[in-house]
Amino acid sequence: MSVLARSVGNAFRNKVRSGAVVIILAVAIGLALSMLVANQAVADKITSLKASVGNNLTVNPAGSRGGQGGGEPLTAADLSTASTVAHVSSVTGTLSLRLSSNASTTATAPGGQGGGPAGRAASGTTSLVSAIDPGTLGNRANGSTSSSGGTGAGSTAVRPAFSIPIEATGIAGAVNAAGVPINITDGTALNDFAGTSAQALVGSTLATKNSLKVGSMFTVDDRTMTISGIFDAGTAFDNNAIYLPLTAAQTLASRPGEISTMTVLVDSIDNVDAAKTALASALGSTRVDVTAGSANLGSAISSLSSVQSISLIGFIAALGTAGLIVLLIMIMVVRERRREIGVLKAIGASNRSIGVQFVFEALVLVVMGSVVGAVIAAFSSNSIVGALVSSNTGTTTAAARSGRQALRAAGQTAGGFGAAAGPGGGRGAFAGASRLIGTVSTSLGWQTLVLGVLGILLIAALGALIPALLTAKVRPIEVLRGE
């Protein structure tokens, strides 16, 4: 007990130095704990993504992706067939429509049809005005800037400015075309899914452009729709869209029972390949294209794995820094108290008791630094993990954007038949990694705190014990003579 009491007293012998050491240790320990918390939070996120996202399959009509035609529409009967396939937990069908504004005139480009890029015709009209300006690229792709100099064989008709169609997706529940829950920021979800339903969800960008709010009305073809909720899908383009009840969308488009795409949930990520093969066989491999949603998942997990590695390296580096600080401080303290060590040796103190005394003295400082460091970690861990995730998913997002541009340059759209990705569903096989990750929340639990502090105390004990034992091995007469 006397050794412990003496160690605590010695730790505060020089209050100014001890205070400075505690502050420096607190910063290093706080960073170490923050990195440990980030590492565990990212590991939990990876596990969650694998459990909830990696077991999705998407079914489209064969050859229809890219808006180039080919294949036959999916039907309600295909939904029933898919639901009976082994390892399939649930099947969600959606119908994607392209609505042009009543106020705009859609002309026909040479060799194609009006209403959208690559000659894709609009499915109907709406009183809403698109919130997205097509810009130079949109007008160029749709030939809306061409002009006529005459009426000869080589002349072209004057085309009005192109207006980006509004994506309307018919849904049968609370999830979008990608099987992701719709993020409703105002109002309520759809609850009337009859063919005569007049409910609709509107994206925030479209709502702002048209000065809409919950309860406002607009038209789709000849039906007046009432806004039950406003959603946020993450980007201005995805929010330039509406959701309708599936049967209502089928009725409005005169496509009874038709489905643009199906999202299939498999019971386990281990059974995805088997379910993919079974679905293609059951629905007809020449009728459908079955794709796994692993592109976004792979990009997301790759980004998170990088964050996990960085956070682990950061934890080890901060832990080593804390140990180095303790080592340097204790070397200085031991050198200052060589005479005291010599006296203790002269009166019979063992090397062990001297080493324990200095270890306890260092641990007192480390414990104080750990308390302050834990507070720092509790307030900074969310910001640190957010910055790490953002920096690593930025590269993934840029790559996804480049991939989509390359596909469009080849005359394709990566969203699938009728923009099958739909509002909030992503735009392309490489897109959506950052949206898939979402927010990574951290929590400094007692298990993490104990694990981190134990590691820090171990490093600190070694840092204090080494200089103390090296000095304690010196004979007392040599120490006293040097003084």
pTM: 0.53
Give the phi and the psi of residue 316 in degrees, each rounded to 5: -65, -40
Per-residue pLDDT of the chain (483 residues; tens, 9 = 90+): 466 666 666 666 777 887 888 888 888 888 888 888 888 888 887 777 766 666 788 888 887 654 555 678 889 899 999 999 998 988 989 998 989 887 554 433 333 334 444 345 567 899 999 888 877 776 666 665 444 444 444 544 545 556 788 899 999 888 877 777 889 999 999 999 999 999 999 999 999 999 999 999 999 999 999 999 999 988 888 899 999 999 999 999 999 999 988 988 888 777 888 999 999 999 988 888 888 765 566 677 777 888 888 888 988 888 888 888 888 888 887 777 777 777 777 777 777 777 777 788 788 888 888 888 888 888 887 788 778 777 766 554 454 455 444 434 444 333 333 333 444 444 443 345 565 566 666 666 677 777 777 887 787 777 777 776 776 666 666 555 555
In the chain the first and final C-alpha atoms are separated, in Å, by: 29
Domain boundaries, the chain: 2-50+301-482, 55-292
CA 453 to chain centre: 30
User: Using a CB cutoff of 8 Å and minimum separation of 24, what contacts does 103-110 make?
Assistant: 103/129, 104/160, 104/163, 105/160, 106/162, 106/163, 107/144, 107/157, 107/159, 107/160, 109/142, 109/143, 109/159, 110/143, 110/156
Taking each continuous run of H as one helix and of E as one strand, the counts in the chain are 13, 13
Please report the pLDDT score of residue 413 as a whole number.
36
